[in-house]
Structure 1
Amino acid sequence: MVPVVMVSSTTGAAGDSGAQGRQLLDQLRVADPLPIRGYSHRRFLPEWAPHRGACDTRETVLARDGRGVRRDSRCRVVKGSWYSPYDGKWLKSEKEIDVDHVVPLSYAWRSGASKWSQARRRAFANDLTRPELVVVSHSVNIAKGGQGPQSWRPPRRAYWCRYATKWITVKHHYRLFVTRKEKVALLNMLRTC
């Protein structure tokens, strides 16, 4: 059985995550990216999946990652504060935040998810077990878009180790491949661990 790197969704170090991250990264296949042709956000996420009662995955992540979160009877967030680890901002309004897919859906598509079933893509987009979903500021999520670590890194360098480790953990679990430039960028980020 391959070790899974466990990281929390906020700040702090993740034990020996650099060494574990490099070990998992070495197990990933290196290949050229697949075409984006055929990709649609809806092929992964026509909507957030129900999780518990009236709550969906997004609402569950907002409650998990927030402080003092209050929800209404339909599980919608009405109050709370959230820390965006990518840029180090504290956010007090649900309108200022996004739930980011660490490995963007379009990037996963080009890394092998294009060959998956609709059910597997939906499970990936709603995964609460792996470190794939994190609350971040809307502005930093827009800046990231569907880019990989060779093109975009969190502005907060102190988060690079954790970000790279999360990225690798998700790709390893789902058996998605990495490109050569992606692997180099991840190794550079792991040097900050």
Structure 2
Amino acid sequence: MSGLYARHPHRRAIARRITALAATAALAVGGLLATAPAAQAAPPTPVNGATARAYLADLTVRAEGSSSGYSRDKFPHWSTQSGTCNTREVVLKRDGVNVVQNSSCAAVSGSWYSEYDGATWTAASDVDIDHIVPLSEAWRSGANSWTTAQRQSFANDLARPQLIAVTDNVNQAKGDKDPAEWLPSRTSYVCTYVRMWVQVKHHYKMTVDTAEKNALQSSLSGC
């Protein structure tokens, strides 16, 4: 990173956005193609609003546990899914458009639409794979008592709506926050996001704290 970007990290994000916009504009050839093809993030469809509300009512409400002992290493990821492809590469392929992978399964081209903020990226390095329920949040909600194998399964879960490709710095801003502390800036995606959150917590029998449950109830009331 250059000295300028090191002193002003927000300029790096702005520069990346300008690069992405320029790449989109470059696809307009002879007026035949005005915009890049829109990528559509496609994790498994979450349960509907009514089911999510029922799931939420079924969750145990408990004060959030301690982060003591937590380490990302206790949630082994990204696991090999097939051949040379790990979970990250599988999600990049799934959630992108026109994704080309090399012999190592690394995405070398394509485009990714981030449902959280509405940005489109043409470099996989600008995309993170977000755990809808963050690993640290899971630890504080009961995963501290799981086996390593259970935590590995959770961290690489492709069967439920737990993994999604999004803008890297947006994912980093989310961190380990729950819906009482963070929701996607794209309000049209909030209903989907909280349904995903509740489904994952319900499947893994995790707890919710009071503020988290209240925020989920509020968001789900409009779903």
TM-score, normalised via structure 2 length:
0.79
What is the match of residue 122 of structure 2?
A: 92
Write the mapping of 1:125-144 to structure 2, written as runs, cut at 5 A.
Answer: 125-144=155-174
Q: 1:65 to 1:116 in 2, by over 3 A?
A: same
Deviations 1:135-164 (A, max 9, x none): 000111011001000001111111110000
Confirm or deny: 8 A CA contact 2:131 2:162 kept in the other structure: yes
1:43 corresponds to which of 65, 74, 81: 74
* Superposed displacement of residue 15, structure 1: 9.0
Cα offsets for 1:78-119 (capped at 9, x unmatched): 001111111111111111100000000000000000000000
State the shift of 1:20 in Å.
1.3
CA drift of 1:192 comes to 3.1
Structure index of larger Rg: 2
Helix, strand or coil at the partner of 2:109:
strand
Between the aligned partners of 2:86 and 2:147, the Cα distance in structure 1 is 21
Contact 2:137 2:177 in 1 (8 A): yes
1:117 has 2:147 as partner = yes
1:159 to 189, 199, 208: 189
Query: How many positions carry a matched residue from both structures?
Result: 182
For residues 1-193 of structure 1, the aligned pairs below 5 Å read 10=41, 17-45=48-76, 47-193=77-223
Offset, 1:179: 0.6
1:131, 1:166 within 8 Å by CA — same for their partners in 2? Answer: yes
List 4+ stretches of structure 1 deviating above 4 A: none
Distance 1:34 1:152 in 2: 19
- Equivalent-residue separation in structure 1 for 2:46 and 2:198 (angstroms): 15
Q: Which has the higher helix share?
A: 2
Q: Is the 8 A contact 1:86 1:159 kept in 2?
A: yes
In 1, Cα distance between equivalents of 2:202 and 2:191: 16
Bigger relative CO (Cα 8 Å, ≥ 6 apart): 1
TM-score of the two chains, using structure 1 as the length reference: 0.91
Distance 1:15 1:176, change over 3 A: closer
Aligned-residue identity in percent: 46
Whole-angstrom CA distance in 2 between matches of 1:80 and 1:55? 17
The alignment's C-alpha RMSD in Å is 1.5
Asked if the contact 1:161–1:191 (Cα under 8 Å) also holds between the matched residues in 2, the reply is: no
8 Å CA contact 1:17–1:161 kept in 2: the answer is no
Once residues 80 and 135 of structure 1 are traced to their aligned partners in structure 2, the CA distance between those partners, rounded to angstroms, is: 13
**Could you list the runs of 5+ residues in structure 2 that have no partner in the other structure?**
1-39
SS in 1 for 2:108: strand
